[in-house]
């Protein structure tokens, strides 16, 4: 464990040296560390749209299946669901959508956690409504955060990933506190 920590510390120094020696490299690293919409255009979307399209189509068609899984594994199996296969398919969908989004904009913290909770609060427990509403609210939240980041720090900007973190963290804390108090 100590040798792993020492290796990490040494390599972190090398990474810092590389990042600080070139402004363009530092900017690219910051983009991937924080998440941003700057410089993203249709060429970027063109390379990943097939993955996003397949993921979105399967996600939109999976509402009924998600409703069955929400009832519990035993009941879902009793109603004819192959829960293991369904979970594997849905995991692949999650990887496609989250990977595609991250490839486009970098890691945008809390969007995938906060948006479904907001959608559930608006339409109830039915995943046939939660999934499509989340598909609309997610980009709306990212766009709102991007505009806010550009307006707050004019003439510069705050990266969208920082704004979504500031918006998402308090919402997640409230959700956790509410769930904890409901569980007691």
Ranked by mean pLDDT, the top range of 52-56, 111-115, 171-175 is 52-56
Whether residue 155 is preceded by a cis peptide bond, meaning omega within 30 degrees of 0, is yes
CA 8 to chain centre: 27
CA gap 113, 168 in Å, rounded: 8
Across the range 12-23, mean pLDDT stands at 83
Asked if 130 contacts 58 with a C-beta cutoff of 8 angstroms, the reply is no
183, pLDDT greater than 70:
no
Average pLDDT of span 54-72:
96
Residue 45 has pLDDT above 80, yes or no: yes
Please, what is the angle between helix 127-152 and helix 42-61, to 10°? 150
- Which tokens in the block code for residue 173? 């804390």
| E strand spans, 83-143 | none
The answer on pLDDT for 181 being more than 80 is no
| 116-129 b/e (C-beta count within 10 Å ≥ 16 → b) | bbbbbeeeeeebee
Q: Three-state DSSP class for 158?
A: coil
Tell me the average pLDDT of the chain.
Answer: 90
């Amino acid at each position: 464990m100590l040798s792993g920590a020492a290796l990490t510390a040494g390599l972190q120094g090398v990474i810092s040296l590389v990042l600080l020696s070139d402004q363009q490299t530092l900017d690219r690293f910051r983009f991937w560390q924080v998440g941003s919409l700057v410089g993203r255009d249709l060429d970027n979307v063109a390379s990943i749209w097939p993955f996003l399209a397949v993921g979105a189509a399967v996600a939109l068609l999976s509402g009924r299946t998600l409703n069955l899984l929400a009832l519990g594994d035993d009941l879902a199996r009793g109603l004819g669901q192959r829960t293991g296969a369904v979970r594997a398919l849905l995991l692949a969908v999650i990887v496609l959508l989250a990977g595609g989004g991250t490839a486009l904009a970098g890691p945008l913290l809390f969007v995938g956690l906060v948006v479904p909770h907001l959608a559930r609060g608006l339409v109830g427990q039915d995943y046939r409504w939660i999934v499509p509403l989340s598909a609309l609210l997610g980009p709306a939240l990212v766009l709102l955060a991007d505009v806010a980041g550009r307006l707050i720090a004019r003439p510069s900007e705050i990266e969208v990933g920082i704004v979504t973190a500031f918006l998402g963290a308090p919402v997640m804390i409230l959700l956790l506190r509410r769930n904890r108090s409901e569980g007691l």
